[in-house]
Structure 1
Amino acid sequence: MSSRRNFLHKLTLSAVSIPFIPGFETKPMYKMSKKSDQGTMLRVAIMGLGSYGTRVAEAMEACKKAKLVGVISGTPSKITDWQAKYDIPEKNCYNYENFDAIRDNPDIDAVYIITPNALHHPQALRVAAAGKHVICEKPMALNAKEGREMVEACKNAGVKLLVGYRMHFEANTLEVIRMREAGAFGEIKFFQGLSGFRIGDPTQWRLDKALAGGGAMMDIGIYSVNGARYMIGAEPEWVTAQETKTDPVKFKEGVDETIMFQFGFPGGVVASCLSTYSMSNLDRFFLNGTEGFAEMQPSTGYGPIKGKTHKGPLDKPHITHQTVQMDRMAEIILEGDTAKVAVDGEEGLKDLIIIDTIYKAVKSGRKEKIKLG
């Protein structure tokens, strides 16, 4: 653990020392075709072979339009293990120092970045410069400034930038959105989002400001931030926020333990949300309107998502979220499809702007305007 932690620290320091120069590292080294050489099969390399990378890889075995073909890792033993398990050829295996060479590998279409938050920005710039599509875990970056640079880099390179918003493809979530749009809940008035769990190992990267960019808000809290937006179907105009810290040893300066935050939306709609690393059994969304309601618990876990509305239970069949996500992202990248709820870089940037403003509100103690434009 300590050796990996030291490696990540060194990697982060070297990454943040690379300046972003618009137009410099963002030009693809070769012209990309719209579709893969294998028709509509998106060929993906996963960067970061930790627990979530493993979950994605296992889910992709059931995909019809996306295939795991490559790996990028700083741990040689993991690469060897994944090669054997997923039949990955040696030529599609890279480490964090040499993965720029994917520019010369026509058998990889996209790279899914599943590394600590601080690495998303520099790694995405390098992937884009290599002419490959970028899929990035959330939060997309440490802050809105980095997010904007990622959006610009991918645009300049002519590649897609997508963010791992798996809930945007989940069936019961989409059913609630369909009902709201059809007017089933009447005029929306209120949303509540509770996102939290008790975090374990105090030495993990999620509790390291340099690697995580914060604490619970940069991990579990983003679900309530994003969920408020897609459940209400509007963008927040202001936010107030309050931070509570009971363990300053575990949650050091700049690493938030618990933040309560409140949004104001157009038309007087309000939201009350909680992000925490110190309470379990918090995975609940509640949407209230003049004619009905929707309640989901669990609302963002790996599934199955459960819930009900005033009309009865939410009972859409559960399919592994990452399987659906990767197949739909293949359609977006290769077929020009669009998602019901956006999963592109601009969507990820909006969440980063909002999170930046939440942190600002915590410090100021005031109602802060959210400027998404």
Structure 2
Amino acid sequence: MNSRRDFLQKLGGSALALHLASVNSWAAGKNEYNELYDGPVLRVAIMGLGGYGSRVAEAMQSCVKAKLVGVISGTPSKVKDWQSKYGILEKNCYNYENFDRIIENPDIDAVYVITPNALHHDHVIRVAKAGKHVICEKPMALNAREGQEMIDACRKANVKLLVGYRMHFEPKTLEIIKMRKNGDFGKITFFQGLCGFKIGDPKQWRLNKQMAGGGALMDIGIYAINGARYMVGEEPVWVTAQETKTDPVLFKEGVDETIQFQFGFPSGATASCLSTYNMNNLDRFFLNGDKGFAELQPSTGYGPIKGRTNKGELTQPVTTHQTVQMEEMAGIILEGTPPVVPVDGEEALKDLKIIDAIYLAVKTNKKITLNL
């Protein structure tokens, strides 16, 4: 966890020039971290070089507290491409068979696990045993049992476990949370979360029960689950749910197409949510109180997030979510800076318990009591 000065001194001349150009463009207004930084740097290896891994890598080029220094992939050609594109050293490149050797590499502080859901459990535990901090994409695991085992492994290894809840750092989202805490909406009575899109390639891992652990609920519905919790500001105490499946060929047994689910909260507030792989134009959060309301639409997409309340349009800056997430997570790991909304394994475990309960509610057609 070297300082930024140490990090730059290790770069070659051309790489240094490119890096400083990146910092200068940041300072010129591309993001909110607009001053030169001379503190500790979190050196990150990304595991899983697919579409989202690439998005994170690109976003990290604007970070000052977090730097991409390593890769873990089962595809040698991708490793070579990333080495060339991001200046990654050969000694910081691993595959899925040998990445346990990062325990011997002092130049990697943390690993961001961006692999299919079913692989998170094993990958996170192996990274923890190698003594590195872990950032894991959501959902953290296939179920709450796996999630607890991952938390226990990281605690035993004395490393941090964070989860990729990028919306926990999004400015308009945080403004609504602040207004709710300040009482601007009065007593919260209702939340609605709509999350969905028409899924494409039928051969992708997201439609494979063994790899994804489910369907739309695991992939996109988790935004509504988590959003209901941080928007309402309470933990749900019961859940009901109903599944609709119109295409059993595409959405095979155990892969949900559309699930509607409802929560009840201790205050009496309720939530009505929907996750789907068969409808577009669904990316909306709505929070209602007896004195006002808040709406985000789009609410969780990559941006720009747009929102309004009963007081008018939200005008907080548009950000690159993954850039801000990695900057803030570096602060959490290196400096112990607490986020407004938690992003640790315990936070993710609550979502997994709710997911388990939603699937049970679908199966039994019963109201399921939650104890988070």
Task: Report the TM-score, using the length of structure 1 for normalisation.
Answer: 0.90
**How do 1:206-221 residues align onto structure 2 when only pairs under 5 Å count?**
206-221=206-221
Residue pair 1:72, 1:94 contacting (<8 A) in 2 also: yes
- Asked whether the equivalents of residues 2 and 41 of structure 2 are also in contact (C-alpha less than 8 Å), the reply is no
Residue 303 of structure 1 corresponds to 303
Q: Note the 1:310-329 alignment, pairs <5 A.
A: 310-329=310-329
Residue identity in the other structure for 1:90: E
Q: 2:116 aligns to what? A: 116
Which residue pairs with 1:154 in the alignment? 154
Match of 1:189 in 2: 189
1 CA distance for matches of 2:192 and 2:275? 12
1:294 paired to 2:290: no
Distance 1:209 1:274, change over 3 A: same
Residue identity opposite 1:61 in structure 2 = Q
Deviations 1:141-190 (A, max 9, x none): 00000000000000000000000000000000000000000000000000
Measure, in 2, the Cα distance between the counterparts of 1:137 and 1:116: 9
Deviation, structure 1 residue 329: 0.2
Give the equivalent residue in structure 1 for 2:265: 265
Q: Is the 8 A contact 1:190 1:287 kept in 2?
A: yes
- AA at the equivalent of 2:71: V
* Range with greater deviation from structure 2 (38-47 or 329-338): 38-47
Question: One-letter code of the match for 2:304?
Answer: P
Equivalent in the alignment of 1:279: 279
Matches within 5 A, 1:48-59: 48-59=48-59
Shifted more, 35-44 versus 268-277: the winner is 35-44
Task: Report the identity percentage.
Answer: 74
Q: C-alpha separation between the residues in 1 aligned to 2:363 and 2:273?
A: 17
C-alpha distance in 2, partners of 1:78/1:34?
27
After superposition, the Cα gap between the structure-2 partners of 1:35 and 1:259, relative to the gap in structure 1 and judged at 3 Å, is: farther
Tell me the SS of whatever aligns to 1:134: strand
Cα shift at 1:123:
0.3
**Displaced runs of 4 or more, over 6 A:** 33-37
- Considering only aligned residues, what root-mean-square deviation do their CA atoms show, in Å? 1.2
Q: CA deviation at 1:35?
A: 8.6
TM score, norm. by length of structure 2: 0.90
Distance of 1:228 and 1:35 partners within structure 2? 38
Alpha-carbon separation, structure 2, partners of 1:357 and 1:269: 19
Matched residue, 1:175: 175
The separation in 1 between residues aligned to 2:365 and 2:160, in whole angstroms, is: 38
Kindly indicate whether the alpha-carbon contact (under 8 Å) linking 1:35 and 1:334 is maintained by their aligned counterparts in 2: no
Superposition deviation, residue 64 in structure 1:
1.1
Counterpart of 1:62 in structure 2: which amino acid? Answer: S
Could you tell me which residue of structure 2 aligns to residue 356 of structure 1?
Answer: 356
Q: CA deviation at 1:273?
A: 0.1
Matches within 5 A, 1:36-75: 39-75=39-75
Query: Per the alignment, in what secondary structure is the counterpart of residue 68 of structure 1?
Result: strand
What do the CA deviations read for 1:103-137 (whole angstroms, capped 9, x no partner)?
Answer: 00000000000000000000000000000000000
Measured in 2, the distance between the counterparts of 1:177 and 1:192 equals 15
Q: How far apart, in 2, do the equivalents of 1:299 and 1:173 lie?
A: 8
Equivalent residues of 2:2, 2:40 under 8 A apart: no
Q: Which amino acid aligns with 1:353?
A: K
How far the C-alpha of 1:307 sits from its partner, in A, is 1.0
Q: What is the CA distance between 1:371 and its match in structure 2?
A: 1.9
Count of residues in Structure 1 that have an aligned counterpart in Structure 2: 340
Whether the aligned pair in 2 keeps the contact of 1:35 and 1:335 (CA below 8 Å) is no
1:271-322 Cα distance to aligned partner (Å, 9 max, x none): 0000000000000000000000001100000011101000000110111000
